[in-house]
Structure 1
Amino acid sequence: MPKPRRALAAAVVALVLPLSACGSGGDGGGSTDASGKVEGDITFQTWNLRANFKPYFDGLIADFEKKYPGTRVKWVDQPAEGYPDKLSADAGGGTLPDVVNVSPDLVAPLAKAGLVLDLDKAAGKYRSEYLDGAWASHQVPGMSGTYAFPWYLNTGPLFYNKALFTKAGLNPGRPPKTYDELFADALQMAKKSGGQVATLANVPTFEDFGRYGVTLMNRQGTAFAFNDTKGVELLTRYKELYDAKALDPQALTATPESSGKKFLTGAVAMNPGSALDLDNFKKNAPSLYRNIGITDQITSTGHVNMYVMGVMVNSRTKHTPAAVAFAHFVTDAQNQMSFAKKVAIFPSTAGSLNDPYFTKEDGTDETRVRIAAAKSLKNAVNYTPVLFSDQMKTALRNEVAKALQGKESPKQALDNAVNAADRLLQQG
């Protein structure tokens, strides 16, 4: 189950924009009217879910077909690797399925190409069933409309190593709650350990700038703005950490996997994660598990970052009522709740996070993490704009690296990253 942070390359937009027809219907386009009879054959595509959840989806489809006699749903599942390329090929070849599992950044180029049904128009009556932040996550700057039903959400806490905090003279029962506290604790950790223990393992990402309160884009969605005063301030503070070895020296090339290993081995004192990580700590790092601390994401905005998956409807489907009905069925409160109890994800439907499953403590760390995450998701946001592509992420990371290494000032690095992102945005 991938995190929703993968984007179509800019070339995909160029590929799909000229298309005049697409979809399982094959020849010419469908209707945007979802009010007709729910009937017909549709295809539903998921993203790397069959291996672990086949019984769930088989049951889901059977329930839908029972509810709507005369429908038939063909389920196809694609591997995580190359999924954006697969969507691109389907769009270009006229074989885009009727209902498709997407993340916000994947839906944006398809929406721009006119290949995605606007749910504000076709299914606006369902909007109140979902959390506001989740519904808004599949909106595209510069376009009116919403282009996917929100499906499952995820977020997670910060884990920290209490033993390392104690060795550094920090209170293991009082982890940092603000950025000022985080940076102060990190510098103390590095000093006390002689530069052997870093507090953080990753350079700041786009979502980190968002959590810090940086203005990310202009309101029109036509230009990026993360080189503002607060953006420069954040990168300057990370440069201070890097120089003091409070930021891991290998952070410039770190991946989530490598950062996780650093945390497991005690080379890094804090790392973001989810409830899924606790079992890994228990099995592979029992000494860490005995000393694990759990705290909230640090944010200046009061809103944690939300990862979100969605379910879009192909605007060219020949069976719009059935496709919309099935996309809604997959993401309704009952089915999302059922799915959430099979894996550590969270429903995007309004009210679901008040269920005892997400509110009632049972004394375990797993439940504690789940309850804390559910509470934070009620007003969480997806900080990464749907228009921020993989190429833009690479440009930002490269410029951040230059700033940390002292090759450019933080201001110059962010100016360069914004200019590169704006150029890519114009090309798209």
Structure 2
Amino acid sequence: MRIRPHASIGALVTAAALAVSGCGIGGNTGTAAPQGEITGEVTGEITFQTWNLKADYSEYFNGVIAAFEKEHPGATVKWLDQPAEGYAEKLSVDAAAGELPDVVNVAPDLVYPLAKAELVLDIDEARPEASKAYLPDAWSGFAMPGRSGTYAYPWYLNTGPIFYNRALFEQAGLDPDAPPTSYDELFDQAITMAEATDGEIAMLGQTPGIVDLGLYGSQLMNEDGTAFTFNDAAAVEMIQRYKEMYDAGALVPESLTQDYTGSGEQFMSEAIAWAPGSAYDLDNFRTNAPSLYKNVGITEVLTNTGQAHMYLQGLAVSARTSHPATATAFAEFVTNAENQEAFAHEVQIFPSTVGSLDDPYFTEEDGTDEGRVRVAAATQLATATNYTPVRFSDQMQNILRNEIALAMRGDKTPRQALDAAVDECNSLLDTE
């Protein structure tokens, strides 16, 4: 799936959740799953499914497949590509019917129900040495709560810097060369901006989501992943600070509405001064908002943990594949350092392989805005982690958002709102 970060502060949009309940995914479908380490001859035909990549990257993937088939003359790869819309549902239907592709593009939340139903391989068991090739936090991103092992090869990664509007900072009497470097600075400058402009300019365009709470230092789930805990002191403090900003006019009121789509359009129209993004957005600003583009500043994601958020994609291997040696070999081939680095030159993503981010392409700016964003993002990814719990569904996201909106309006205290969100989300966990 093409990665286009667009979310609340420091957060990146994840794939739509694929919940076990209601999806009809069951285990023990088709042939028995391989047990233990997978070895053997790389031969036979396998299917490889990507997520909305064929239209733009056919030449790259056809080249990768051809190279693999040349290296393994007895193997054939049939490439499938599914549109972004409905991908989770398509994956669910295929899994329920026992027709999951041999190698399939997944995000951590998408692989969770497949792992729970034992429909994808535990890579730690199938290929015990494989983890050494990948960044530790990328590898652990495909570990599943309640299960040992890892259920997909890490593939490409992304994170994003923060964009801010230098002109709006100047208008509010803030130094555009000294953007906030901590949450306290952000909150204080946001209120200063609102007061200096009589509420005409807001710093922020969205209430915090689950990733933001994680970045702020909240422990989102207990250690064994069986219950949400994002009603701790850190989360309460963050929501209280947002309430103060909302009351001061530093957070746009539209962010509390049900149909609000996020801060991107607000930033484009120069109604807010601070928003997350990626190098994709620079092209959009250049084309569709030239007055904004000439005033865009770029800074790092804020975090109290020392780790930015990592958005990641992976390749899972069907536990029912007829050719496990070929499927695992192909997944490792697609995600090896050479192929990941080549893909990163095709599109603004980042490799998950050890040492790849040390390449000058990711460490040295080339004088372009895109290069500046790329280097900033790569620097963050070296220590980034995935904050989104794999069991945190779209329904849970809506619950959290609605409760935070009640806190912003003063209908509940931050503690009451988060307690209610945690209770409701945990009750949904019990129905899985």
Residues 12, 88 of structure 1: 8 Å contact kept: no
Which residue number corresponds to residue 288 of structure 2? 284
Q: In structure 2, do the counterparts of structure 1 residues 395 and 254 end up closer, same or farther at CA, with 3 Å as the change threshold?
A: closer
- Say which of 13, 21, 42 aligns to 1:11: 21
Paired with 1:337 and 1:136, the residues of 2 have a C-alpha distance of 21
How far the C-alpha of 1:271 sits from its partner, in A, is 0.6
Check 1:255–1:165 CA distance in 2 against 1; reply closer, same or farther (3 A cut): farther
CA shift, 1:228, in A, is 0.6
Q: Closer, same or farther in 2 for the Cα pair 1:370/1:396, shift >3 Å? A: same
1:418 aligns to 2:426 (yes or no): no
Letter in 2 for 1:139: A
* 1:382 to partner: Cα distance: 0.4
Tell me the distance in 2 between the aligned counterparts of 1:67 and 1:321: 14
CA contact (8 A) 1:10 1:389 kept: no
Retained in 1: the 8 A contact 2:28–2:119? no
**Does the CA contact (< 8 Å) of 2:21 and 2:431 recur in 1?**
no
Q: Per-residue deviation at 1:254?
A: 7.9
Amino acid in the other structure paired with 1:285: A
Deviation at 1:12, TM superposition (A): 4.6
CA contact (8 A) 2:19 2:113 kept: no
Alpha-carbon deviations, 1:233-264, whole Å to 9, x = none?
Answer: 11111111111110111112488965212111
Give the counterpart letter for 2:32 in structure 1: G
Superposed, which structure 2 residues align to 1:196-275 within 5 Å? 196-253=200-257, 258-275=262-279
Structure 1 counterpart SS, 2:265 = helix
- What displacement does 1:354 show? 0.5
Shift of 1:351: 0.4
CA 1:254 to 1:167, structure 2 compared with 1: closer, same or farther past 3 Å?
farther
Change in Cα spacing, 1:220 to 1:144, as seen in structure 2 (3 Å) is same
- SS for the counterpart of 2:151 is coil
The question of whether the paired residues in 2 share the 8 Å contact of 1:201 and 1:254 is answered with: no
Structure 1 residues 341 and 325: CA distance shift in structure 2, 3 A: same
Question: Which residue of 330, 340, 344 corresponds with 1:340?
Answer: 344
Q: Deviations over 1:352-400 (max 9, x none)?
A: 0001111122222211110111011011000011111111111111111
Q: Does the alignment pair 1:325 with 2:329?
A: yes
Q: Distance in 1 between matches of 2:287 and 2:156?
A: 27
Identity across matched positions, percent: 56
Superposed displacement of residue 94, structure 1: 1.1
Structure 2 match to 1:130: 134
For residue 175 of structure 1, give the secondary structure of its aligned residue in structure 2: coil
Could you say which residue in structure 1 is the equivalent of 2:122? 118
Within a 5 Å distance, the mapping from 1:20-419 to structure 2 comes to 20-21=28-29, 27-32=30-35, 33-253=37-257, 258-419=262-423
Please, what is the CA RMSD of the aligned residues? 1.4
Distance 1:5 1:93 in 2: 22
1:9–1:390 Cα contact (<8 Å) kept: no
| Superimposed CA distance per residue, residues 246-302 of structure 1 (whole angstroms, 9 cap, x where no aligned partner) | 011111248896521211111000110011111111111112111111100011111
Relative to 1, partners in 2 of residues 1:276 and 1:256: Cα closer, same or farther, differing over 3 Å? farther
Q: 2:200, 2:412 → 1: CA distance? A: 26
- Asked whether the 8 Å contact 2:187–2:245 carries over to 1, the reply is yes
Partner letter of residue 9 of structure 1?
Answer: A
AA in 2 matched with 1:319? H
60-69 or 280-289, which moves further after superposition? Answer: 280-289
Normalised TM-score (structure 1): 0.96
- TM, length-normalised to structure 2: 0.95
3-state SS of paired residue (2:148): coil
Q: Distance in 1 between matches of 2:361 and 2:51?
A: 26
AA partner of residue 16 (structure 1) = I
Aligned counterparts of 1:122 and 1:142: Cα–Cα separation in 2: 19
Looking at structure 2, the residues matched to 330 and 256 of structure 1 have their Cα atoms a distance apart, in angstroms, of 38
CA distance in 2, matches of 1:400, 1:66: 55
Amino acid at match of 2:43: E
Amino acid at match of 2:395: Q
* Paired letter, 1:359: T
The gaps in structure 2 that reach 5 residues or longer are 4-12
Contact 1:30-1:318 at 8 Å conserved across structures: no
Q: How big is the shift at 1:60?
A: 0.9
Q: How many residues align?
A: 421
Q: Deviations over 1:196-243 (max 9, x none)?
A: 111111110100000000111110111111001111111111111111
Tell whether the 8 Å contact from 2:143 to 2:149 is kept in structure 1 after alignment: yes
Residue type at the aligned position of 1:358: F
8 Å contact 2:365–2:375 — kept in the other structure? yes
**Structure 1 residues not aligned, in runs of 5+:** 22-26
Q: Is the 8 A contact 2:357 2:378 kept in 1?
A: yes
Cα distance in 2 between the residues matched to 1:219 and 1:82: 32
Cα distance in structure 1, aligned partners of 2:302 and 2:262: 22
C-alpha distance in 1 between matches for 2:285 and 2:228: 39
